[in-house]
Structure 1
Amino acid sequence: MGRYPTGVSMVASKGSDGPVGMIVGTFGSVSLDPPLVSFMPAKTSTTWPLIEQAGSFAINVLSVEQEAVCRAFRGDHASRFAGEPWREGLTGSPILERAAAWIDCSIESVFDAGDHFIVLGRVVGLDSPNTKLPLLFFQGGYGSFSPGTMVTTEVDLPGNLAFIDYARPLMESLSRLADCECVLGKFEHKNMLIMASAGTRKDSKLSTLVGERIPVVAPFGRTAMAWAPEPEVEAWATSKGPEHRDRYKQMLSSIRQRGYSVTVEADQVSGSEASHALAVLDPGVESGSEGGTTTGTIHSITAPVINDLGAAEFVLGLYGVGKVAPELLEEATQALGAVTTELEHYLRKSAQPKGTTA
């Protein structure tokens, strides 16, 4: 079993003399309907009787920053919560503010299982307010993991799969450098297919968008449209009415001149037609146009991957960049430019007939 990594959770409850808790590696999801979870305390545990007496508990999925919480649980109950901010959940059970996720439960039932009990809890509330990676336990030590690239199952063409395989390590490296999420999209006729994603966003909007096909309607898709043929540009710029035409075309001109798009945080995309994907991917104001500047919180930096026809076949973006100093912004854009240049070279090379050279 030492070859099997496990998550690390604190099961906490409200005891008669204050909060009580125990560290477990046996937390698991049991059922969605009704919502049930489980954990398995040892029969020798002195904490489990206190939790059972309370009739409720909260599962706190520890983040990679909370290894010290595990060490604190070697002491008495009072010291276990010292220095760790927490609040009471719906059941009164302690919820750790820095946990990667929490699940508040009432005890549903308890089953005998050898030298352990199996405890079922009925979920009354849950949330994942933080984007830090979870803490893992493996072969006697604590650690975490680096999330790999997620790839959509909709991409079934060998050429696209080969392109993603080539882009994958570049995206992961870029995500680590900029400390945000790196997303690859493929521009299709009037749509953007989110093909792959690497890393995590810093904010609570973190969402797996891979596989979503999003209509390219102004201002979304601006980076691809900056290199599109004029008829497509005209249709895009007037998609929300002719009164927006000049402003959107000026935006595209600024992006093309700069070679990439930089958006700063602004009001979220609104309206009944605005999907969650649009709200996450494109709520910003273009820097250098529409009065935008790069002095605020940077939402995204996106650049095209130009094919041999001069069109943006793919768009590579950094999302959730945050507030960064000008020199760090320049470093991120240069790194993004270097990756898109390498991807363009691969794209053109792969498009050549076999037996020819660039």
Structure 2
Amino acid sequence: MGLKLFFKEHLSFIIFELIVVLFILSLYWLDGFRNVDTAVYSIVISMILIFSFLAVRFAFRRNFLQRISNLPQTMDDALQKNAKTPEHLQTEAYLQELYRLYQNEVQNLYAKQDRQEKFLNQWIHQMKTPISVLELLLQEEEIDRTSIQEEVDRLKRGIEMVLMNARIEKFEEDMQIDEVRLKEIVTATINDNKRLFITNHVFPVIDIDPEVTVTTDSKWLKFMFTQFITNAVKYTFEPNKKVKIFVEKNESKTVLCVEDEGIGIPKSDLARVTKPFFTGENGRRTGESTGMGLYLAKEICEKLGHRLEIESEVGKGTLVKVIF
């Protein structure tokens, strides 16, 4: 099989060499040289040289040709290293690199699928709580509309989270960069979550110049900011505390800051709060954390070209910065 493949590969070469020999003999013939024995001798010698060259070439390439002539049963069969010529050594190096890239893509795909599955399982488990509470509230004679609205808001935030998690895989198709006014985004997000502040007796304090603008995607920025204020309120257990939202100017950078007066993040957890599914000590205390909010915020920041920084001290609060 390897010899057949070798012959097919070099058939054009053999024909070309024969044409060259005949062309040279024809030039001698036209020049008046009529010795037939010399012509035959020249053709024979040329053929011997050609086939000797091909025989040596085949000896070097035989193992490689036999390997590619048979379909591999395993990946190890395809990636064996037995080439001898520079061309085939380079081919093997190319295949090795191609396989490495393929493995990376497959592993990334499996990681994404595993992350999506794990997130959905956690999300579904958490959505059972507000649904169960709604069922209990609806069984009472007097319907508490405020409590029902709180649970509906929790469901809305959960649905928004899972939708954004799905969209982030195709972020570039859903991105629209523009100049946006930070105060407008912050105010709109606070208004959308005002019941969250009222219920937990936490008060937002906005100190942003209306003229401050940044280059970003307003929808994704609003989603990020929602995660920050939700965490700020959720982990502020004492009433009448504040969440301060302000902007710092640092040379050519604009920094959006969200500072709360909550329980803070332990130092051991601070470096991992942006990892997927990491809930930490605080998440276990509330039992409501998916561990995906800050992870998605960090992913969005990176895709938009911003930077996310988190500072915290236990018992004093947390400061989240988005650097534009």
What TM-score range do you get, normalising by the shorter chain? Answer: under 0.3
TM-score in terms of structure 2 length: 0.25
Larger radius of gyration: 2
Q: Which structure has the highest strand share of the two? A: 1
TM-score in terms of structure 1 length: 0.23
